[in-house]
Chain A
Amino acid sequence: MPFNGKSGKFNASINAATIGCGDKKITLGGENVLPFYTFDAAIEHAPKVGVEITDGGLDKEPECIRKYYEGCRTVVDMAKKAAEMEGADFLCFRMEGGDPNGENKSTEELIAMLKGIADAVDIPIVAAGCRHAEKDAELLQKAAEVLDGKNAVILSAGEENYKAVGAAAGLAYKQKVGAESAVDINLAKQLNVLLTQLGVNSQSIVMNVGSAAAGYGFEYVVSTMERIKAAALSQNDNTLQMPIITPVASETWGVKEAVASEADMPEWGDTEMRGIDMEVETAAAVLASGSNAVILKHPVSVATISKMVQELV
């Protein structure tokens, strides 16, 4: 007696958002099934893996990351090297040094770096801000301008600055707008509605619905993503059908499991291995919950997750 399974294919589907241009452009989303449910229907666009670098260059990176970028003198050198990483589909440049509570680098300085990177690499670019609403409003408007014609993702427009970021990225320069909310389906929906009311095409929105490292309240991430996909697919809620892009590296490389030195925690063993597995396991769980793209940092994580995605799709 063979198994007679019912198909879980939906009539609705996730929006397909293409980013980048030329041969290296990629498409996020487009599926009408739950994550990796290829037995229900084929998934045309497999989830994508991005590599993150920051304006801080190598100084702030853990040693295992510095090793990969050995010989790079500038952020542009790093970007070129990151683009060659095995399994890398896109590049994320995070301008965290712009934070007024941190280094408070000027917009001009950061945008000059971004421009250098955009000229040097041909894979799609995600430009991420410093998570300070006011500064990002200014920084990301400029980022959208300087990336004109690159079809980039601007990460991100939040509740407080969606007008400035959304208008520049979504309306003036036709980039993809990253809508960021804090692990809550209602906040995610509300921001999408606000952005579309502003005039941004819903097909030009991708969501960052928030993340956490595995073990750190990750149940909220799983449930938020699963509920969003359920609403988008089973209820055809077109305010939640945007593909999800999730920065993982910026969450996982700060927790103590990844940073505590072997001298402090001898029984935990090698720090690099802990950093990789925290990143890999968080990324796998984020993808299983519904993310269409993850942003990682370590070359081994990027290769492993990229391979896992290929195996599954």
Chain B
Amino acid sequence: MALKGLDIFKLSPKKNCKECGCPTCMAFSMKVAQGAMDINACPYFSEESKAVLSEATAPPMKSIKIGTGESEMALGGETVLSRHEKTFVNKTRYAVSLCNCMEEAEIDAKIKAIGAVDYERISERMFVELVYVNYSADGPCDYIELVKKAAATDRVLILGCTDVEMAKAALAICKDQKPVLNGATADNYEAMSAVAAEAGVVLGVRGEDINELYDTVAKLEGLGNKNLILDVGTKSIKDAFGTAVQMRRAAIKDSDRTFGYPSLVNAARLAKGDIHMQAALASLFTVKYGSVIVMEELSYAQALPLYGLRQNIFTDPQKPMKVEPGIYQINGADENSICLTTVDFALTYFVVSGELERSGVPCNLIISDAGGLSVLTSWAAGKFSAGTIAKYFEEADIAGKVKCRKLILPGKVAVLKGELEAKLPDWEIIVGTNEAVQLVKFMKDMQG
């Protein structure tokens, strides 16, 4: 819960010493309440008061860090239940599952496939970020050897292992990479917690049902371990979804901090052998409250829509997605192909480039910085005008990079034609279509 300025003021030293830079303690309290200043800027705030404040201002859901160096990532830390309320902060991460119950050849093939999906989409690297390494007591392969192989992929590991001794041995190999030890149950939580704490890694907790999970988390917190991830279980899809939603809602809406941890959804287990169902579940839990989702495999077929969805869901609603300004060559265009221009709003880019691709006509799509707004909005805001287009053409030396001198303008800003002709005298300015869907016909007609 956010504290009001007055609540903070009541706890303040009320000296009005100005050492914090504010004229009064009241002004300082107000700034702290807004998040504009840190409480520690005041040298006289008593430790007890600070403890009271930090308890009250602690986020409802912990942000848990896993991995090290470049692979380090944060999970959880959300403050709202819906993205339109504010922003989701830490995106869902996807893991591919390995198990010592698999044949060696299968394991090797899976490890190879993990590296295959790796691409960029609107300035974000899309790849399999995590590997889930499951331990099965009667598996034919050696678990420790499997952990070694998995660690060599350079992905952050999640050790799915409820056997305390085996977990200890596995951590001895990979603890420096800061994996997750997903192994605490109602029966072994004390020993598992000690193993995780000693290795300095995050502990995953599971329960037979939501009540047992809650109880075990409370007991672990009682032991002082608050570095946790909660496994929503594999009893059924319905049960896993119910647990994921109720956990998140309790933490954020009802301030129940016992459930204020990231979640782990084992879709590989929930829909074993049904890869399309796993794709559906990955999508479902990306929308509703999965922090980590484990799949049996993640091929391009599943990854392309899934990573696109994630990128959409975890954008800041107040900050539109932008593509980089530049010349985008479509359908094998070269310097002699016809040019079009539009704004850098990602959705506009995707729709326009998609339609251009469908037209089959080679063309250069020239994107300039328009503040990430749509065509009419950026035009109204003065961020997409004859001036900005001409300026970008000069800065990026477009005339030096393409030989064609025909430029198609979005139909909605036909009004810019005259001014643009004056600013780019070498170019023939053509007014294009109002809607992207009309581009296919327009481009074919132009060519014909």
* Chain A residues in the interface with B (C-beta under 8 A): 1-3, 5-6, 8, 36-39, 101, 213-219, 222-223, 226-227, 230, 254-257, 267-270, 273-274, 276-278, 280-285, 287-289, 300-301, 304-305, 307-308, 311-313
Q: Is the CB of A289 within 8 A of B300?
A: no
Q: Is the CB of B238 within 8 A of A38?
A: yes
Q: Is the CB of A281 within 8 A of B242?
A: no
Q: Can you spell out 10 A-B residue pairs with CB atoms less than 8 angstroms apart?
A: A3-B250, A5-B254, A214-B306, A255-B354, A277-B305, A278-B304, A285-B283, A288-B284, A308-B284, A312-B241
Closest to A102 in B: B441
The answer to whether residues A278 and B246 also contact, given A3-B211, A222-B312, A284-B283 and a CB cut-off of 8 A, is no
Q: Is the CB of A214 within 8 A of B283?
A: yes
Residues on the A chain within 8 Å of B277, using CB? 304, 307-308
Most chain B CB atoms below 10 A, which of A8, A36, A216, A284:
A284
Question: What CA separation (Å) do A39 and B236 show in the bound complex?
Answer: 13
Q: Is the CB of A277 within 8 A of B357?
A: no
**Cβ of B350 under 8 Å from chain A:** yes
Which of B82, B211, B241, B280 contacts A281 (CB under 8 A)? B280
Closest to B306 in A: A281
Residues on the B chain within 8 Å of A300, using CB? 276
Q: Is the CB of A311 within 8 A of B238?
A: yes
Most chain A CB atoms below 10 A, which of B218, B280, B283:
B280
Question: What CA separation (Å) do A281 and B281 show in the bound complex?
Answer: 8
Question: What CA separation (Å) do A192 and B84 show in the bound complex?
Answer: 23
* Chain B residues in the interface with A (C-beta under 8 A): 82-84, 116, 121, 210-211, 213-215, 218, 236-238, 241-242, 245-246, 249-250, 253-254, 259, 274, 276-277, 279-284, 286-288, 299-302, 304-309, 311-313, 315, 317, 346-347, 350-351, 354, 357-358, 438, 441
Q: Is the CB of A219 within 8 A of B83?
A: yes
Apart from A5-B210, A284-B280: 10 A-B pairs, beta carbons within 8 A:
A3-B246, A39-B246, A214-B308, A216-B347, A222-B287, A281-B279, A284-B281, A304-B274, A304-B276, A312-B237
Closest to A309 in B: B280
Question: What CA separation (Å) do A307 and B210 show in the bound complex?
Answer: 24
The minimal Cβ–Cβ distance linking B275 to chain A, given in whole angstroms, is 8
Question: What CA separation (Å) do A155 and B35 show in the bound complex?
Answer: 49
The minimal Cβ–Cβ distance linking A277 to chain B, given in whole angstroms, is 4
Q: Is the CB of A305 within 8 A of B280?
A: yes
Interface of B is mostly: helix
- Inter-chain contact count A-B, CB under 8 Å? 170
Question: What CA separation (Å) do A304 and B287 show in the bound complex?
Answer: 18
Question: What CA separation (Å) do A5 and B281 show in the bound complex?
Answer: 24
The minimal Cβ–Cβ distance linking B347 to chain A, given in whole angstroms, is 4
The minimal Cβ–Cβ distance linking A308 to chain B, given in whole angstroms, is 5
The minimal Cβ–Cβ distance linking B245 to chain A, given in whole angstroms, is 6
Residues on the B chain within 8 Å of A285, using CB? 283-284, 286-287, 309
Residues on the B chain within 8 Å of A277, using CB? 276, 279, 301-302, 304-305
The minimal Cβ–Cβ distance linking A95 to chain B, given in whole angstroms, is 17
Q: Is the CB of B246 within 8 A of A281?
A: no
Q: Is the CB of B300 within 8 A of A267?
A: yes
Which of A226, A269, A282, A301 contacts B84 (CB under 8 A)? A226
The answer to whether residues A3 and B214 also contact, given A216-B347, A300-B276 and a CB cut-off of 8 A, is yes
Q: Is the CB of A1 within 8 A of B302?
A: no
Q: Is the CB of A219 within 8 A of B312?
A: yes
Residues on the B chain within 8 Å of A276, using CB? 276, 301
Q: Is the CB of A268 within 8 A of B283?
A: no
Residues on the B chain within 8 Å of A37, using CB? 242, 245
Closest to A35 in B: B288
Closest to A259 in B: B358
Question: What CA separation (Å) do A312 and B346 show in the bound complex?
Answer: 34
Q: Is the CB of A217 within 8 A of B350?
A: yes
Residues on the A chain within 8 Å of B82, using CB? 223, 226-227, 230
Question: What CA separation (Å) do A287 and B286 show in the bound complex?
Answer: 12
Residues on the B chain within 8 Å of A304, using CB? 274, 276-277, 279-280
Q: Is the CB of A3 within 8 A of B259?
A: yes
Question: What CA separation (Å) do A219 and B91 show in the bound complex?
Answer: 14
Which of A6, A8, A216, A283 contacts B280 (CB under 8 A)? A283
A-B pairs, top 3 by smallest CB distance, nearest first, are A215-B308, A3-B214, A273-B301
Residues on the B chain within 8 Å of A6, using CB? 249-250, 253-254
